[in-house]
Amino acid sequence: MLIKIGARYPFGACSYYRSYGVFPHLHRLDQSIKVEPITKIDWTYIAGADILYLERPQDPEYVSAMKLAKNFGVKTWVDYDDDLFSVPDYNQTKAFYGKKEVRQSIIKALEMAD
């Protein structure tokens, strides 16, 4: 099984605990599992995967990746560690997650996820 993983901030704490820091260890648990990062949204990075895992897909680029995955028959898995529709006013990311295009991308990613 080949799992391709993508995260907007692969060096952040969220990625460490939920994607790039965790997924590579799956191979130790099961030798048949291979994990590869995607470094850009392109069909050549997605084709051939069994699963495309995206951490916090929040923009149209990730929605495009999910569409590519669907075209290749790749299952999609999304992970949101927070309710990004209820970011409190004091949080500096509220302005970003409050943008219409970001909210629409999150909704679309959730709708397309397997």
pLDDT, tens digit, 9 for 90 and up, residues 43-75: 888 999 999 999 999 989 999 999 999 999 999
**pLDDT value at 10 more than 90:** no
**pLDDT value at 14 more than 90:** no
**89 neighbors 98 (Cβ within 8 angstroms):** no
> Rounded to an integer, what distance in angstroms lies between the CA atom of residue 49 and that of residue 60?
21
What average pLDDT does this structure show over 96-104? 94
Residue 41's pLDDT band (boundaries 50, 70, 90)? Answer: confident
Residues 6+ apart with CB under 8 A from 50: 1, 2, 3, 74, 75
Q: What is the dihedral of CA 97, 102, 5, 109, to 10 degrees?
A: 120
**pLDDT value at 12 more than 90:** no
Q: If you average pLDDT over every residue of the chain, what do you get? A: 92
